[in-house]
Chain A
Amino acid sequence: MNETLTDKLGVLFPDNRCRQVLDSIVMDVAPDTLVRTMERLKTYPDLGFTMLLDITAVDYLTYPEETSTRFKVVYVLRNWSRNWLLQVVVEVADPERGLPSVSTIWGAADWAEREVYDQYGIVFTGHPDLRRILNHWQFKGHPLRKDYDIRQGQICFETDSLEREIRARLATKGVDESTMRDINTEMMFLNLGPSHPATHGAIRIFTALDGETIMANVNEIGYLHRGFEKTAEHRTYNQVIPLTDRLNYCSALLNNIAYVKAVESWLGLEITERAMFMRVVLSEFFRIQDHLVCLAANLVDMGGLTNYWYLYNEKEASYDLISRLTGARLTSSFTRIGGMYRDFYEGWEADMEHQLAAIEKGVDDSLSLVLQNRIVHDRTQGTCLLPAETALSYGFTGPNLRASGVAFDLRKDNPYYHYDAFDFNVPVGSTGDIYDRIMVRFEEIFESIKIIRQAMKMIPDGDIFVFDHRYVLPPKEQVYNRIEGLANHFKLIFEGVKVSAGEWYDSFEAANGELGFYFVSDGSGRPYKLKVRPPCFYAMAGFHTMVEGEMIADAVINLGSINIIGGELDR
């Protein structure tokens, strides 16, 4: 399959070097041909890379091998229908001069380039609004550069008025204020958030209102930015796992699994069958939790508080099961490279089956309040539309993308962990309105329950760890009684799992969409660079296209329907 892509790229771009890394093709592109190449990659029907998944940069300042330039920028592209993944690598000779912006080609590039600029100081010429995004606007320096010391804190406190940005947005929207001036009135600017009941965290949604209609919208994020990527560079690979808990904290275990899967796939580590099935069961269980939280909060935003209890009660009860299994309710940290932290406890099947039945009942009860409810229909159908093309351009993934009618699900399209052996459907919406997003999540809960039931029947007995002590801690009696065990233990704890040098991208279908990890390893036990591709960062980047022209009340429920999780958004 990737052979054909390599052939096609070889014909179309004969000057560019291509190589295969895991299941993606990496292509080097010269800066001056970047925009033209990208346009062709997107628009040529043979290639059709409609999605820009992520943009990130790598700073090779302290990399052991010599590189021609200090910075490289990596664009991760996807053709979802053919399961092609392409990384375009561009060398940056001078970050001040930077690279040409591709934000006219993909909407997703807008925020992605801002993030690269913020973290690495690489300028994108032609970008409409190149500002910091995760760090505060008063912040000095670029934190992900290798010469920025991790202990170098800065105190920034002045708020950003955003008025210039929203006026620019009004101008691009072509909003005519002359009628308003004629009747002696003006546009009202309203902040929804950062502290607002609807933001479920801290996001600032800045709107220009005509009455209650949103004429323009600019969003400010970064309130929960805690330097995940910088911290990860100073931890061993296993020590990063607790950090991943805090990405999407509604489905912490999914992040754990996604992270270790990304590391294991580079190491070529085949985990045991039991561990694989455990990961399937747990990731589907956490997908359900994530959807329950999202739906409950979304319906509360609409004013339907009773739904909250029907859905959240089951989520609470599930957390009891989760805490019995992992020892923690929220931050599970349950995976390790090479397997799982612990096996299931005795009698977990009964608990799980009991909980699944309870979830089915809670969801059915909630659906009985929603499905035939005229008010819900009136409010959600046809509002905040997200056409498939816009969704792809902005890099929407997961349930949000599927609600727009694009049946892209990594579990089906690029199966891992035997997902191709399970019988499940991918629910797809028709118009991409709020109703579709709600219903896709409701349906996915039932599909996930189906997968768990199948996996529970198939789960084999056996070990949950690979016994390769280059990666996995030896059992305690070996540590205490044998010198090899002790040495393995010591090296793994102090130096971490040694990961051979290289750069790779691996992705996982998380509850919110494609959760990707871009790694650069220098061969040591700590990641040289670790970039997360959080699904809701790109959903938030496209938020303004959905709410402009709608009412405040619609914007509020739309924010709930795309499921923004602050921890993942801001990292």
Chain B
Amino acid sequence: MSLTLFNVILAVVIAISFVGLNAAYLVWAERKGAGLFQRRPGPMENGLWGLLQPPIDGVKLMTKQLLIPGGVDKAVFITAPVLAMFPALVSFVTIPFSDNIIAHPIDVGVLLIFAFAALGSMSLLVAGWSSRNKYSMISSIRAVSQAVAYEIPLMITTITVVMISGSLNLTDIAARQLDGIWAWHIWPFQDDVGFNLLMPISFLVLFVCSVAETNRAPFDLGEAESELVAGFHTEYSSMGFGLFFMGEYANIVIGASLTTVLFLGGWSCPFGDLGFFPLTHNVGWFLLKIYLIIFVFIWIRWTFPRTTIYGLLNLSWKYLIPISLFNLLLTAALLKVF
């Protein structure tokens, strides 16, 4: 076996196990987090602090029967959960965990992530459509209109950052922000573009969009369990449901990573280069940042009730898109001036 092939297999195995472990333990973290906000302990029974809950849940899901309701479009019905998991997995290839830990640096990494994110919302559409259930269908219609509405400001904001850094490569974007906390894109002053007050607002836009893109509360209209039972995955059981679930949490990690790379300096240490343990040091900062963002995701979920579909679309079309467009033009002008 050649070394490259071995490397590829190793990268894939690491990526899959990272995604899988993350998905499993983020569920645990979500439940513990919910417990924290709701004054209850959360999972307690299996293992210390309920830490064995995720593998047990996994075993349970895998041993359950996969029910396929009568009258569904079978091929599409089975493909949909795979389609939910696959793009999330592929997107991990381009995420730079540190300057040298990256599965495969791609020059159009940002583009790849967006392409696969679009594919992810496709999976919700086909899942809802093939289920032959009215609730699922309403849910998938919601999910798609939501994805369309929120991808636009998400992309425009990303383009703003791409313009500043002059690269679509995520490693390059992160590498620009290595000189301590003040070099991060979140701040209103940038070397090349002078003084851009709107950068923190752009960060907020991106953050809101990533919450909406991952179908998290308060934008979880696709699932909306009190209205649409369970939305697009109402008819899914066993690992079909499990894959949707894992895909959702994998997407959360992707969203948090993207936010970190674009605005929070990627793997950079907020105190500048301290010069020790470069390898673990860098990865440590990156993971700390993404888990902090994920904690905020969880916090938001257990604080806010769900919006309505019109409220959600209005927010995007009336506020987020104009703001992000304005910031794009402003940044372009400032780049020209300075």
Contact = CB atoms under 8 A, between A and B. Distances in A.
Interface of A: 188, 190, 196-198, 212, 299-306, 308-310, 313, 369, 373, 375-376, 378-379, 551-554, 556
A302 B305 contact: yes
17 contacts: A190-B134, A190-B138, A196-B229, A198-B226, A198-B227, A300-B226, A302-B305, A302-B306, A303-B218, A369-B303, A375-B304, A379-B307, A551-B309, A552-B138, A553-B224, A553-B227, A554-B308
Contacts of A308: 38
Interface residues of B, number: 26
Contact of A303 (B38, B40, B226, B310): B226
A14 B308 CA distance: 57
Which has the most chain A C-beta neighbours within 10 Å: B134, B227, B309?
A: B227
Given A196-B229, A197-B225, A306 B308 contact: no
Interface in B271-321: 302-311
Interface string B30-65: 000010011110000000000000000000000000
Nearest to A299: B305
A303 B308 contact: no
A310 B134 CA distance: 34
B294 to A, nearest CB: 18
B220 interface: yes
A372 to B, nearest CB: 12
Contacts of B138: 190, 212, 552
B23 interface: no
B227 A306 contact: no
Contacts of B225: 197
A198 B220 CA distance: 16
B217 interface: yes
Contact of A306 (B38, B220, B310): B38
A309 B304 contact: no
A568 B116 CA distance: 52
Contact of B226 (A197, A212, A376): A197
Nearest to A374: B304
Given A306-B38, A310-B38, A378 B226 contact: no
B81 to A, nearest CB: 22
B164 to A, nearest CB: 32
A305 B302 CA distance: 7
B134 A375 contact: no
Given A197-B229, A553-B224, A309 B38 contact: yes
A124 B291 CA distance: 66
Contacts of A375: 218, 304-307, 311
B305 A188 contact: no
B308 A551 contact: yes
Contacts of A301: 226
A196 B135 CA distance: 11
Contacts of B226: 197-198, 300-303, 556
Contacts of A553: 224, 227, 306, 308-309
Given A305-B34, A375-B304, A553-B306, 7 more contacts: A196-B229, A303-B218, A373-B305, A375-B305, A553-B227, A553-B309, A554-B308
Nearest to B223: A303
A442 to B, nearest CB: 15
A309 B218 contact: no
A303 B34 contact: no
A471 B220 CA distance: 58
Contacts of A305: 34, 38, 302
Contacts of B135: 190
A517 to B, nearest CB: 34
Nearest to A195: B229
Contacts of B34: 305-306
A177 B85 CA distance: 41
Contacts of A551: 308-310
